[in-house]
Chains A and B, each alone.
Chain A
Amino acid sequence: MRLFLMILGMLLTTVILLGVAGFLVFAERRVLAFLQNRLGPNRLGPLGVGQALADALKLMSKENFVPDFADPVLYRAAPVLVAFSVLASFAVVPLDQHFSWAGNWNIGLLFILAMSSLNAYGVFMGGWASGNKFSLLGAVRAVAQLVSYELPLGLALLGVVLLSGSLSLNGIVAAQSLPFIVLQPLGFVIFMIAGVAETHRLPFDLPEAESELVAGFNTEYGGMRFGYFFLGEYLGMTLIAVLTALLYLGGWHGPWLPGWIWLLIKTGAVIFVFFWLRATLPRPRYDQLMGLGWKVLLPLALFNIMATALAAALWRLA
């Protein structure tokens, strides 16, 4: 019985997350349209919300084919791996003190980092198995970018871990009587930039830059397999936004309203910043991207850790 309820709960969580991803696709189109002074999709349903459903139906009804120059097994496995790794990361994300699957797990943050490296693997396999040179170039770019930006991301997270003394997300939020953005402004900025690069969204979407690589690693994908990549991207963005809210913006702490509503408001605000970035910033060159990661963010992240450790040691002395 308990097992049955657990499976039902997991299914429900997954469906809700899929719904969130679909809604975000729609919301992004509307917000972009608003920022560019046009209307965006507004026909189906109130404000056009039905557009998300229509897009999902369109993707699902398309033919699922495998190009004959592709590697059949890896071509099929890659999108599933991408979607799975992001969905699994949400297992350690708590909505509230008592409401999560594994919010108390003592390696929660490490688990998220591990899943994000699996995600890179899925993207690479997709691009390689397509057997197309644009896909391969996109995949190489994606892996190089993900590996380079995972380093500053993890180092920025170490500052938070140093301050809270815990690797579980519940523990980190519980330690924030003062939101960590006040104590870790540098870490917050590094985390946001590296987070945008991790989800390869604009302005760091070089793995799938349309103007040079067709569509990068997912050029050969169509139908629901493309949908999985799409899902992975939008859920990855949600994950980074939730993590920002939990780690730096105080999580569910806030006056008057119940905790989970605060978390949703903060997450929504971060997601809006992501949309805003997309509407505002141009795409850098690839060497500029790599230079930013290795020559600017990595030293800054190291400096952030040393400064945090020093300050914490002095605080303990005083």
Chain B
Amino acid sequence: MMILLILLLLLIILMSGAALLVVNDPMHGAVNLGISLLALSILFLLLGAPFVAALEVMLYVGAILVLFLFAIMLLRSPLKVREEARWRRGFWWPAVLVVLLTVVLILLFGQRPDLQVTIQEIGPASVGRALFGPYLWLTEAVALLLFAIIAAVLAIHRRDAHDT
């Protein structure tokens, strides 16, 4: 049952990833990324991490992807898409490398005997205790970094007098 579910998730992620490689419209790309993120959040639930699964939907689909949507909308007018030249010179070598990488990674990860463990659920309470216990200073550092990012984004968007 569990295996079937994971295989289904693998299929969804594979298909939405393949769709990402071929679609022209950035909005369709964002939607495909959203689909694979939702599939990933189900995978996180199966891995016994409900807190992270909820965060994946809240932060990734709810915030990061929305940032993408705003950027896409500010970048171009709706439903008018420029064709991207695809089968051009400089396409084939990267494509071959990507296929090789796939084979190597799957061979590397596919058969590992030391992975036979039963998965226990680790709830939000213990994650919170870890975040604000041993990792407290790291959490504070991330908070500081986010604050710095706000300043940086504002600085990038500032229009100077000679800009106009």
Tell whether A175 is near chain B: CB-to-CB under 8 Å.
no
Tell whether A231 is near chain B: CB-to-CB under 8 Å.
no
A-B contact count (CB 8 A): 72
In contact, B66 and A120 (Cβ under 8 angstroms): yes
A121/B54 contact (C-beta < 8 A), A140-B73, A143-B69, A150-B62 known: no
Most buried by B among A105, A114, A120: A114
Tell whether B136 is near chain A: CB-to-CB under 8 Å.
no
In contact, B78 and A136 (Cβ under 8 angstroms): yes
Tell whether B133 is near chain A: CB-to-CB under 8 Å.
no
In contact, B66 and A121 (Cβ under 8 angstroms): yes
CA–CA, A150 and B58, complex, Å = 10
From A69, A115, A121, B34 is in contact (CB under 8 Å) with A121
Interface of A, secondary structure class, is helix
Tell whether A128 is near chain B: CB-to-CB under 8 Å.
yes
**Distance (whole angstroms) from the CB of B55 to the closest CB of chain A:** 7
Within 8 A of B (CB), among A26-81: 69, 71, 74
Output the nearest chain A residue to B69 by Cβ-Cβ distance: A124
What are 19 A-B contacts defined by CB distance under 8 Å?
A69-B79, A74-B27, A74-B31, A106-B125, A107-B50, A107-B51, A107-B123, A110-B51, A113-B54, A114-B57, A115-B57, A116-B62, A117-B63, A121-B62, A121-B65, A121-B66, A125-B31, A128-B69, A143-B69
Chain A residues at the B interface, C-beta cutoff of 8 Å: 69, 71, 74, 105-107, 110-111, 113-118, 120-121, 124-125, 128, 131, 133, 136, 140, 143, 147, 150, 167
Chain B residues at the A interface, C-beta cutoff of 8 Å: 27-28, 31, 34, 41, 50-51, 53-55, 57-58, 61-63, 65-66, 69-70, 73, 78-79, 123-125
Given contacts A107-B53, A117-B57, A143-B70, list 4 more A-B pairs with CB under 8 A: A71-B27, A106-B50, A114-B62, A121-B34
